[in-house]
Structure 1
Amino acid sequence: MLKFYVVEDDPAVRKMLSRIVAESGLGEVMGEAEDGSCASIIAVQAADVVIIDLLMPGRDGIETVKALREAHYGGRFIMISQVENKEMIGEAYQQGVDTFIQKPINRLEVVAVLRRVSDHLLLEKSMQTIRNSLRLLDVPGDAAVHSGTHLQQQSSIEQQARTLLLQLGIAGETGTSDLIRIMKWLKTQEQAQQLLPDLPPLKTIYAHVAKGSLQQPEANMQKVVRALEQRIRRLVMQALTHLSSLGLNDYGHPTFEYYASRLFDFQEVRLRMRELEEQRKSSAAKLNLRKFLYVLYVECCSASDT
């Protein structure tokens, strides 16, 4: 059961949200505040999710989210808003808001949003528990069984990678096979108990993937790695352009809402959206390839383990 904290200046809305959380069976509201200035890190740190209003008479939602992130609050933020200003919504995403609930409050929308965030959080916790358990285990077994399990896991992560690439609008593009090989190689590293709190250096990843899959002579490896890196960069830019296009048409599009701020630095998403508005084909956006690859890998693992 998850713990929620509600920051909302309207007592009727606070009461409604508390009732929806309780009746949905998703968890409990463990605290409330009528203004952002009352939502200190001490008050919210035990909450898994903070539901916060965008516009409040004292400290507003964006300022509060920023303050809590700076105080190292690690939970999720769901923002309540009736504002349609794209710059303000973009700023909220940039500060760490996961998703929005629109006013006036609709019970079905609230339950759907809370359930989506709740499912993702519970899955993350479950995966971490499993990984911690595996870290402590060293159980010998039949080699064929281990080999079969390994192949199943490789197949599963490949299937999930293909599904995610389809959602990101880049399935079938040049470089997708390279990206899938990277996901599979990262999985082998984790299976070898080389856990991944962060990625290895990108050049290390590219070199291993190129060497393992292409079997190129060592003399050609530098050229092959450079070509692979360029394909990945172009592919990630295509994903950024696709997500930015979705957000330009609809900030509430579920794919944009979920992946844009996870896979990319949101200021770069906003920049690409402005470029698309101005019909610019090239982009000045700076790609954080490490972030993209790591988050994509985590998403592949999360879905393949369900």
Structure 2
Amino acid sequence: MERTILIIDDDVNIRKMLSILIKKNNLGKVVEELKSGDSAVEEILFYNPDIVLIDLLLPVIDGLEIIKLAKGRGYTGKFIMISQVEDKDMISKAYEAGILFFINKPINDIEVINVIKGVCYNIELENSISIVKNAVFNMRANKEEVHSDNIDNLISKIFIDLGIAGDMGSNDLKKVIKNVINIKKTKNDQSYYLQDIYEKIVEEESGKENLSSNKKAFEQRIRRIIQKAFQTITELGVNDYSNIIFLEYSTILFDFSQIRQQMRHIENHNEKSGKINIKKFIEGIIAKINLL
């Protein structure tokens, strides 16, 4: 199925370049090109494209506001931001608003092609999963809860993909994830604190003696193993931006701006390392389990 793409950029040369790349590489069909944020939300809702390529700095309404308004009115497609902005806070806000990837200008043709291909792959994967889930739901209206053993197997499969299965800390991380799942079963939007979960697990395993030092060691193991997964995924992206494992996990488990920072660090050690967000990682694992 041919994917539909809408381009929003005030630079006519960028719009033409993107349109040519998309057509030349059979990435989809460009349904509209816009030069400003004026009426952009209405155009997005009208065309309902699979992907929106959008600049951050636009006349009338900026890219962040367009994304928020479009999502608020029910648009469920994917946003890829292409901008010359390098301010890390602005880029972080873009990810928080809902973009899937951020591409820096000047445009690198190979990066644009691989990112769009990756997003198309993710869309097809989500659609396939949705079809399967709906079929299972229709066959089993009273769907049984996933048993603990099945959750273990699903987490283990993801850990294998991330290259951390069997590593020191993998069982600890699995316990944390399962604790969060149990909290969410009570109430999906219930807040939780990782420090409380760490303390609960450590106390159950070792008692209250040396609780503070044991908890600190436990937290360090969790951070180290997630850091290893982060490094594995980043190295896959450095070697092959279209790698299926990289595309599948890079945005759901990590902040992609930090992935890009780690890529720069791998290529030049004078660049600072990217950072992990433990809670985002755990939430991403749980989201993947729900999709599998």
Deviation digits for residues 58-114 of structure 1, max 9, x if unmatched? Answer: 969xx9754433436263316599xxxxx9xxx7995713699839x99xx997554
State the match for 2:287 in structure 1.
298
In structure 2, how many angstroms separate the alpha carbons of the residues matched to 1:72 and 1:186? 31
Which one of the candidate residues 227, 236, 254 is aligned to 1:246? Answer: 236
Which one of the candidate residues 169, 190, 194 is aligned to 2:187? Answer: 194
In structure 1, how many angstroms separate the alpha carbons of the residues matched to 2:81 and 2:67? 18
Listed as ranges, the gaps of 5+ residues in structure 1 are 22-28, 82-86, 135-148
Asked whether the equivalents of residues 122 and 248 of structure 2 are also in contact (C-alpha less than 8 Å), the reply is no
State the match for 1:102 in structure 2.
113
What pairs with 1:1-306 in structure 2 (closer than 5 Å)? Answer: 6-8=5-7, 32-35=31-34, 37=36, 40-45=40-45, 50-53=50-53, 66-71=64-69, 73=71, 75-77=76-78, 96-97=99-100, 102=113, 112=121, 114-119=123-128, 122=130, 153-191=147-185, 193-195=186-188, 197=189, 199-212=191-204, 214=205, 216-278=206-268, 284-303=273-292
In structure 1, how many angstroms separate the alpha carbons of the residues matched to 2:147 and 2:47? 33
Asked whether the equivalents of residues 233 and 289 of structure 1 are also in contact (C-alpha less than 8 Å), the reply is yes
Letter in 2 for 1:293: I
In structure 2, how many angstroms separate the alpha carbons of the residues matched to 1:185 and 1:123? 29
Give the 3 Å change call, closer, same or farther, for CA 239–221 of structure 1 in structure 2.
same
In structure 1, how many angstroms separate the alpha carbons of the residues matched to 2:215 and 2:47? 45
- Cα distance, 1:257 vs structure 2: 1.9
In structure 2, how many angstroms separate the alpha carbons of the residues matched to 1:156 and 1:124? 18
- Cα distance, 1:232 vs structure 2: 0.5
- Cα distance, 1:51 vs structure 2: 1.9
Give the 3 Å change call, closer, same or farther, for CA 46–182 of structure 1 in structure 2.
farther
Deviation digits for residues 132-168 of structure 1, max 9, x if unmatched? Answer: x99xxxxxxxxxxxxxx67x52111111111111111
Deviation digits for residues 151-188 of structure 1, max 9, x if unmatched? Answer: x5211111111111111121121110011111222222
Deviation digits for residues 235-278 of structure 1, max 9, x if unmatched? Answer: 11111111110111111112212321221122221221122113
Asked whether the equivalents of residues 31 and 49 of structure 2 are also in contact (C-alpha less than 8 Å), the reply is no
State the match for 1:25 in structure 2.
none
In structure 2, how many angstroms separate the alpha carbons of the residues matched to 1:118 and 1:259? 17
Give the 3 Å change call, closer, same or farther, for CA 66–249 of structure 1 in structure 2.
farther
Q: CA RMSD in A?
A: 4.7
When normalised by structure 2's length, the TM-score is 0.66
Of all paired residues, the percent bearing the same amino acid is 20
Q: Secondary structure at the match of 1:170?
A: coil
In structure 2, how many angstroms separate the alpha carbons of the residues matched to 1:287 and 1:110? 22
Q: Secondary structure at the match of 1:271?
A: helix
In structure 1, how many angstroms separate the alpha carbons of the residues matched to 2:45 and 2:187? 31
The count of aligned residue pairs is 252
In structure 1, how many angstroms separate the alpha carbons of the residues matched to 2:48 and 2:133? 11
State the match for 2:11 in structure 1.
none
Letter in 2 for 1:194: K
Q: Secondary structure at the match of 2:147?
A: helix
Q: Secondary structure at the match of 2:5?
A: strand
Asked whether the equivalents of residues 253 and 281 of structure 2 are also in contact (C-alpha less than 8 Å), the reply is yes
Listed as ranges, the gaps of 5+ residues in structure 2 are 8-14, 103-110
Give the 3 Å change call, closer, same or farther, for CA 53–270 of structure 1 in structure 2.
closer
In structure 1, how many angstroms separate the alpha carbons of the residues matched to 2:63 and 2:131? 24
Asked whether the equivalents of residues 198 and 294 of structure 1 are also in contact (C-alpha less than 8 Å), the reply is no
In structure 2, how many angstroms separate the alpha carbons of the residues matched to 1:46 and 1:198? 35
In structure 2, how many angstroms separate the alpha carbons of the residues matched to 1:235 and 1:225? 16
In structure 2, how many angstroms separate the alpha carbons of the residues matched to 1:289 and 1:164? 16
Letter in 2 for 1:6: I
Give the 3 Å change call, closer, same or farther, for CA 224–64 of structure 1 in structure 2.
same
In structure 2, how many angstroms separate the alpha carbons of the residues matched to 1:110 and 1:270? 16
